[in-house]
């Protein structure tokens, strides 16, 4: 598919390629051959405002469609041509573990964020993170990214997720009905939107720990206004986790 240019050039005044820059069609074909490499897309975005605009509208969208085609098809099946937040934020969520900082959201250990090669996101697993009255919502959740011997209890896992049509979800409605407070300072590391604490809202079901292979009282996650989820858990020892899986 060749992308039709829809926006005027918005180069910055310091941009070195104000004359004879590549067309959107050429950029599309180049990155198609590069299999929508996220690191190269991020690098291109730093060149100038025009490249950043093309990356946000076109390249990150194609990256998401290539990396998780079934998931993207479902997220857009309500008829929207976009996603909650933006394509760049969703692309980052697919490949980036946000980690945590002392004094930040989780206030436990210092673990730097990092890129991950590939992560599986599951709609079925997402049901385990929702209260029974909210299980008509669609939530995709990643497998935990394990960081060994980092927490006070042992191994720590980070997980990420995204809601379909969060603005119309039962989770959002319940958060509003319960007068849940947005975090006063921290924002979503993917889209910079404000965050709700699902722990403070008492909306974390026991089934979340079982799905993660974690202790029930050591699971915490946040959801932002655009429906991106990020969380942390203390993982059970492997033998206990295997037993929990068998029971489930």
187-243 tens-digit pLDDT: 999 999 999 999 999 999 999 998 988 887 889 999 999 999 999 988 887 654 444
Answer yes or no: do 130 and 214 share one domain. Answer: yes
Give the range of the structural domain holding residue 59, as residue numbers without chain letter: 24-72
Answer yes or no: do 208 and 114 share one domain. Answer: yes
- In a domain, residue 194? The reply is yes
- How would you write the chain as a 3-class SS string? CCCCCCCCCCCCCCCCCCCCCCCHHHHHHHHHHCCCCHHHHHHHHCCCHHHHHHHHHHHHHHHHHHHCHHHHHHHCCCCCCCCCCCHHHHHHHHHEECCECCCCCCCCCCECCEECCCCCEEHHHHHHHCCHHHCCCCEEEECCEEEEEEECCEEEEEEEEEECCHHHCHHHHHHHHCCCCEEEEEECCCCCCEEEECCCCCCCCCHHHHHHCEEEEEEEEEEECCCEEEEEEEECCHHHHHHHHHHC
What's the domain count of the chain? 2
Tell me the whole-structure pTM to 2 decimals.
0.83
- In a domain, residue 138? The reply is yes
Answer yes or no: do 222 and 176 share one domain. Answer: yes
Answer yes or no: do 107 and 190 share one domain. Answer: yes
> What is residue 108's predicted lDDT score, i.e. its pLDDT?
66
- In a domain, residue 244? The reply is no
Answer yes or no: do 108 and 203 share one domain. Answer: yes
- In a domain, residue 52? The reply is yes
Answer yes or no: do 111 and 178 share one domain. Answer: yes
Answer yes or no: do 211 and 162 share one domain. Answer: yes
- In a domain, residue 90? The reply is no
Quick: pLDDT tens for 134-150.
Answer: 999 999 999 998 888 66
Answer yes or no: do 196 and 157 share one domain. Answer: yes
């Amino acid at each position: 598919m060749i992308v039709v240019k829809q926006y005027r050039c918005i180069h910055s005044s310091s941009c070195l390629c104000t004359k004879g820059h590549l067309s959107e069609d050429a950029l599309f074909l180049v990155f198609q051959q590069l299999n929508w490499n996220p690191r190269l897309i991020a690098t291109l975005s730093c060149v100038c405002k025009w490249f950043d605009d093309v990356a946000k509208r076109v390249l990150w969208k194609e990256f998401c469609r290539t990396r998780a085609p079934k998931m993207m098809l479902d997220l857009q099946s309500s008829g929207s041509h976009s996603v909650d937040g933006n394509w760049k934020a969703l692309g980052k969520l697919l490949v980036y573990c946000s980690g945590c900082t002392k004094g930040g959201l989780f206030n436990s250990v210092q673990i730097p964020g990092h890129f991950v090669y590939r992560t599986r996101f599951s709609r079925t697993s997402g049901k385990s993170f929702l209260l029974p009255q909210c299980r008509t919502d669609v939530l995709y959740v990643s497998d935990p990214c394990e960081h060994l011997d980092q927490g006070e209890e042992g191994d720590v896992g980070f997980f990420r997720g995204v809601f379909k049509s969060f603005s119309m979800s039962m989770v959002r409605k319940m958060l509003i009905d319960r007068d849940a407070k947005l975090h006063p300072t921290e924002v979503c590391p993917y889209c910079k939107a404000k965050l709700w604490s699902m722990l403070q809202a008492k909306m974390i079901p026991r089934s979340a720990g079982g799905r993660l292979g974690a202790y029930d009282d050591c699971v915490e996650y946040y959801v932002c206004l655009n429906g991106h989820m990020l969380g942390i858990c203390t993982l059970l020892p492997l033998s206990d986790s295997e037993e929990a899986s068998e029971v489930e």
